């Protein structure tokens, strides 16, 4: 297992998902229940087949079973759940199965489109599988043939959940027990993209076939003030327009309306469907190219290339009387790459705006 990743030249420490913590607490509680002895750490098998050891806290024996906790360690990822205690209580039963429940501080699903069914505790399928497989391994090791009931609970979960996307996703009363690999990679692109897909599935399950997609807070404010069309079918996609378009096709959306600032959308016009600055920044080159194409002089083109912001570049286009054709061409090219990404299988519409001039296309 990788303890660290290198991101932007920095060595960042990996952490563990809430699912891994729940599996570890469940495993330790099961061992203590079957042996009658406390344990300080426990071995947990991850979905990859690798094993890790995790420290155990707060062991407690009572007539109903054994409980204990694991401290959530998110590594260098800025996770709201970092440092909280994930508990599991295990008791024996005669079902012959591993039965998993959510207790205090674990959210309950109220909307379709998530990994769990409506009404279930928000313990996703991979953590459920991790808990089940680890407890079956422990049962075999101690020659126990009966069933077990596992209740995962998080005393701080309800409070922490208010700072997550759970309320918007229709998960009430607590956090989700998540994870696909068991490991948290700091500021992982995969985690961000996975969360976007989950949001889109929820929107689709509510019956919406039209998606309103925008990059971030500034676009959100523009939509609210100038368009007034933001609702339950709205999605903030950060830099991941390409992935959102892919998911739109996969999930069966019929139409996607994209609203974005010229500074983002000019990158799309250059074929960049992930607009993060780490992937490149040719905003001024694109604007300067089309300015020259439509008659701007070399001095103006050089001014554009030296501009610090697209808003300033727009003022130069206006001064040179080439603003309309340049913006039309940028819009056309951005729409071309958007439609190419969806293979023209769904309807798309693009609104480009600037802070100073409003809607540009």
Residue 228 burial (CB < 10 Å; 0-12/13-18/19+)?
exposed
| Mean residue pLDDT across the chain | 92
pLDDT of 150 > 60? The answer is yes
Give yes or no: residues 71 and 44 share one domain. Answer: yes
Give yes or no: residues 131 and 254 share one domain. Answer: no
The arithmetic mean of pLDDT across residues 138-162, rounded, is 96
Give yes or no: residues 240 and 269 share one domain. Answer: yes
Domain end, chosen from 150, 184, 218, is at: 184
The arithmetic mean of pLDDT across residues 282-308, rounded, is 95
Give yes or no: residues 224 and 97 share one domain. Answer: no
Give yes or no: residues 10 and 57 share one domain. Answer: yes
The pLDDT tens digits of the residues spanning 64-115 come to: 999 999 999 987 766 889 999 999 999 999 999 999 999 999 999 998 878 8
Of the two residues 167 and 346, the one the predictor is more confident about is: 346
Rounded CA-CA distance 27/22 in Å is 8
The arithmetic mean of pLDDT across residues 181-199, rounded, is 80
Give yes or no: residues 176 and 200 share one domain. Answer: no
Q: What residues have CB less than 8 Å from 211, skipping those under 6 apart?
A: 200, 203, 233, 235, 244, 248, 253, 255, 256, 257
What is the structure's pLDDT at 187?
Answer: 61
The arithmetic mean of pLDDT across residues 3-17, rounded, is 65
Give yes or no: residues 167 and 221 share one domain. Answer: no
Domain end, chosen from 141, 159, 184, is at: 184
Give yes or no: residues 205 and 340 share one domain. Answer: yes
What is the structure's pLDDT at 199?
Answer: 92
CATH number, position 180: 3.30.2110.10
Give yes or no: residues 161 and 238 share one domain. Answer: no
Rounded CA-CA distance 59/89 in Å is 10
Tell me the pTM. 0.71
pLDDT of 10 > 70? The answer is no
What is the structure's pLDDT at 126?
Answer: 94
pLDDT band at 183 (very low <50, low <70, confident <90, very high): confident
Give yes or no: residues 177 and 226 share one domain. Answer: no
CA distances (Å), origin 197, targets 219, 235, 247: 20, 10, 7
Give yes or no: residues 155 and 14 share one domain. Answer: yes
Domain end, chosen from 134, 149, 184, is at: 184
Most confident residue range from 69-83, 307-321, 327-341: 327-341
Rounded CA-CA distance 240/215 in Å is 8
What is the structure's pLDDT at 11?
Answer: 59
pLDDT of 276 > 90? The answer is no
- Name the H helices within 174-237: 189-205, 217-222
* Domain with 170 in it: 4-184
pLDDT of 9 > 70? The answer is no
Rounded CA-CA distance 66/61 in Å is 5
Percent of the chain with pLDDT over 70: 95
pLDDT band at 169 (very low <50, low <70, confident <90, very high): confident
Looking at the 3D structure of the chain, how many domains does it have?
2
Give yes or no: residues 149 and 130 share one domain. Answer: yes
């Amino acid at each position: 297992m990788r303890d660290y990743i290198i991101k932007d030249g920095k060595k960042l420490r990996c952490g563990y998902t809430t699912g891994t913590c729940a599996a570890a607490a469940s495993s330790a509680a099961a061992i203590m229940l079957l042996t009658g002895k406390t344990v300080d750490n426990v071995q947990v098998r991850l979905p990859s087949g690798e094993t890790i050891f995790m420290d155990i806290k707060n062991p407690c024996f009572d007539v109903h079973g054994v409980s204990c906790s694991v401290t959530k360690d998110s590594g260098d990822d800025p996770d709201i759940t970092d440092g909280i205690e994930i508990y599991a209580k295990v008791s024996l039963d005669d079902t012959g199965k591993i039965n998993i429940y959510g207790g205090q501080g674990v959210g309950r699903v109220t909307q379709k489109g998530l990994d769990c069914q409506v009404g279930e505790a928000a313990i996703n399928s991979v953590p459920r599988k991790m808990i089940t497989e680890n407890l079956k391994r422990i049962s075999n090791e101690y020659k126990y043939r009966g069933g077990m009931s596992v209740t995962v609970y998080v005393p701080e979960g309800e409070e922490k959940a208010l700072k997550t996307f759970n309320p918007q996703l229709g998960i009430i009363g607590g956090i989700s027990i998540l994870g696909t690999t068991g490991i948290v990679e700091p500021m992982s692109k995969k985690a961000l993209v996975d969360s976007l897909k989950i949001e889109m599935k929820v929107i689709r399950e509510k019956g919406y076939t039209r998606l309103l997609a925008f990059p971030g807070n500034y676009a959100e404010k523009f939509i609210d003030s100038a368009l007034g069309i933001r609702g339950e079918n709205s999605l903030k996609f950060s830099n991941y327009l390409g992935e959102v378009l892919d998911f739109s096709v996969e999930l069966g959306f019929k139409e996607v309306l994209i609203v974005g600032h010229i500074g983002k959308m000019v990158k799309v016009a250059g074929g960049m469907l992930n607009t993060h600055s780490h992937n490149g920044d040719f905003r001024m080159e694109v604007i300067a190219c089309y300015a020259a194409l439509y008659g701007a002089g070399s001095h103006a083109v050089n001014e554009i290339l030296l501009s610090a912001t697209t808003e300033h570049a727009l003022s130069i286009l206006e001064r040179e009387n080439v603003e309309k054709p340049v913006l039309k061409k940028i819009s056309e090219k951005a729409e071309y790459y958007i439609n190419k990404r969806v293979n023209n299988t769904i309807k798309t519409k693009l609104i480009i705006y600037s802070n100073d001039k409003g809607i540009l296309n």
